[in-house]
């Protein structure tokens, strides 16, 4: 009969230690990469969205300024003759905006122009779509981009000339060559970074009118989902795949004066670069400690296994001496495994208790024993994601700084605990109470009825006002209420609405509850 192969406890412990440490390290690395990926993706999306909005606002301001300049020139032209020298002075003062400025009569013939452009000069009859549009509409116009007679991509901004008698006398206009340096291109080109981020602009038909790759100007990208949403008047962000199959984190918006769509985007491949750097940093930081940990635990495992082996051999020898027909050859091995199993179970129970305690500490505010800010953010996001209607009460202790300054922070802590206890007593089991920060608290009412939320808020306010505290001072609260989905579709909007209502309570004298100002029902002073 062949001898059964066995393994020493020392070898098993060493194997388990190495395996556990490596698995723990890998789990940490994977978790870090996932968190990093999620965080960076959210940051790229939000940053690109806000940048697109900023560029849209700046573009609107620049175009409005350019339109106002031409309106002023049109008014002057209607009252007196503008000479060529006058027009040159106007152009010199505004050449950062326009590549040329001209005055045309009612037939579209150029009367004055500064500076002269090859193929276009005084006496030239304009036939471009932009000129025809200005003559037809007889009002301020920002044209669609078009190819001029010089072969350049142009936007024409015009203003009608109407004399004091109300007669239409033509128009003044300024041209912008989109492919050449101008105030718009300088402003829009500031978003080019070494990480591959860039922005671009399309006209109302979805054709590129600004892009870092000038060879693509005029190309139609109307099928791009971000462009479709922007041209529909929407603003937002999304992960998209462009017309060339490249994935981007894109923020998009709509410029309302021209109808242009503006998109700012970052390639999703930036996540791979960031995760590679993160992995390198983790390895460089953690590997020395990982090796030291393995060596230390290996030494402890050797010590423990040696002791257990000696004890098992001693017990086995004792039994054998009492009974020669003896102990099976596997007895000592089974004994060690049983002892190790019992110890492991005991250790795991302690670990589980500690994990439960840590989980509680992560969610609970240590002073008030209410849920903390982190739990508030998580709960609010989950409720909104699941589209569960609810009301949010934000409340603040009036003049709390005065309590701290007068009676000290110990008394201030007691006041916070009393308010927290009162909140728990005056809310229902399904409602959730949070310490939002400092002397500010929040309550999530598991019901879409604002009247119920107002009733609970008033119950909390009146109960707190009736509290007796050692300082014999009266505690009052100011409260504000907002409702999901009525007042906001994301956590930031909802908290801002509740804070606004809370601010109204403060502004109206404190010690009262206020529904969000969009509601007709206002809070009453306590």
Round to whole Å and give the CA distance between 348 and 365. Answer: 27
Round to whole Å and give the CA distance between 325 and 323. Answer: 5
Round to whole Å and give the CA distance between 192 and 423. Answer: 52
Tell me phi and psi for residue 269, to 5 degrees: -65, -15
Round to whole Å and give the CA distance between 275 and 314. Answer: 54
CA distance readout (Å), 131 to 64, 124, 128, 260, 513: 19, 12, 5, 20, 60
Pick the closest to residue 257 from 157, 170, 187 (CA basis): 157
Residue 64: left if φ>0, alpha if ψ -120 to 50, beta else—which one? Answer: alpha
Pick the closest to residue 121 from 131, 129, 111 (CA basis): 111
CA distance readout (Å), 355 to 24, 26, 293, 376: 15, 20, 21, 21
Catalytic residue among 255, 336, 366, 439: 439
Indicate if 219 belongs to the active site: no
512-515 and 477-484: which strand pairing?
Answer: parallel
Pick the closest to residue 446 from 371, 392, 516 (CA basis): 392
Q: Check: CB of residue 178 under 8 Å from CB of residue 153.
A: yes
**280: three-class secondary structure by DSSP:** helix
* Pairs from 110-117 (Cβ < 8 Å, separation ≥ 24): 111/170, 112/82, 112/83, 112/84, 112/87, 113/87, 114/84, 114/87, 114/88, 114/90, 115/88, 115/91, 117/150
CA dihedral 379, 382, 385, 387 (to 10 degrees): -70
The helix or strand, by DSSP H or E, that contains position 74, with its residue range, turns out to be helix 9-79
Round to whole Å and give the CA distance between 258 and 281. Answer: 47
Catalytic amino acids?
439
């Amino acid at each position: 009969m062949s001898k059964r192969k066995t393994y020493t406890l020392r070898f098993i412990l060493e194997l388990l230690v190495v395996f556990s440490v490596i698995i723990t390290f890998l789990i940490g690395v994977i978790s870090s990469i996932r968190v990093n990926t999620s965080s960076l993706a959210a940051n790229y999306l939000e940053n690109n969205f806000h940048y697109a909005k900023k560029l849209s606002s700046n573009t609107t301001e620049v175009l409005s300024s350019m339109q106002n300049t031409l309106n002023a020139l049109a008014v002057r032209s209607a009252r007196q003759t503008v000479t060529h020298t006058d027009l040159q002075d106007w152009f010199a003062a505004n050449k950062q905006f326009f590549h040329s400025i001209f005055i045309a009569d009612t037939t579209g013939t150029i009367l004055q122009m500064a500076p002269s452009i090859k193929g276009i000069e005084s006496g030239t009859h304009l036939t471009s779509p932009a000129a025809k549009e200005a003559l037809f509409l007889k009002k301020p116009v920002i044209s669609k981009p078009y190819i001029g007679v010089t072969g350049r991509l142009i936007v024409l901004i015009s203003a009608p000339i109407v004399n004091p008698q109300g007669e239409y006398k033509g128009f003044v206009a300024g041209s912008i060559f989109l492919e050449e340096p101008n105030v718009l291109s300088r402003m829009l080109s500031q978003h080019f970074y070494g990480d591959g981020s860039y922005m671009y602009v399309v006209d109302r038909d979805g054709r590129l009118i600004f892009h870092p790759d000038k060879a693509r100007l005029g190309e139609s990208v109307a099928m791009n989902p971000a462009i479709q949403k922007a041209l529909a008047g929407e603003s937002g962000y999304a992960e998209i795949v462009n017309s060339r199959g490249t994935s981007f984190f894109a923020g998009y918006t709509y410029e309302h004066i021209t109808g242009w769509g503006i998109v700012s985007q970052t390639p999703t491949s930036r996540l791979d670069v960031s995760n590679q750097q993160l992995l390198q940093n983790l390895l460089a930081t953690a590997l020395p400690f990982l090796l030291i940990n393995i060596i230390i635990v290996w030494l402890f495992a050797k010590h423990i296994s040696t002791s257990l082996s000696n004890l098992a051999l001693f017990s086995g020898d004792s039994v054998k001496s009492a009974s020669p027909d003896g102990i099976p050859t596997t007895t000592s091995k089974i004994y060690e495994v049983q002892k190790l199993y019992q110890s492991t179970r005991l250790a795991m129970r302690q670990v589980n208790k500690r994990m439960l305690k840590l989980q509680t500490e992560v969610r609970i505010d240590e002073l008030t024993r209410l849920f903390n800010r982190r739990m508030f953010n998580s709960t609010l996001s989950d409720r909104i994601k699941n589209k569960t209607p609810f009301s949010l009460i934000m409340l603040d202790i009036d003049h709390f700084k005065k309590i701290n300054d007068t009676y000290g922070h110990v008394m201030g802590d007691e006041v916070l605990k009393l308010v927290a206890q009162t909140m728990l007593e005056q809310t229902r089991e399904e409602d959730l109470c949070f310490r939002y920060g400092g002397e500010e608290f929040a309550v999530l009412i598991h019901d879409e009825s604002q009247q119920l939320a107002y009733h609970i808020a008033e119950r909390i306010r009146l109960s707190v006002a009736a509290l007796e505290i050692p300082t014999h001072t009266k505690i009052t609260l100011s409260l504000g209420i907002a409702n999901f989905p009525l007042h906001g579709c994301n956590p930031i909007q909802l908290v801002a609405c509740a804070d606004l209502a809370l601010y109204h309570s403060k502004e109206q004298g404190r010690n009262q509850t206020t529904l969000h100002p969009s509601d007709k029902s206002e809070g009453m002073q306590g």
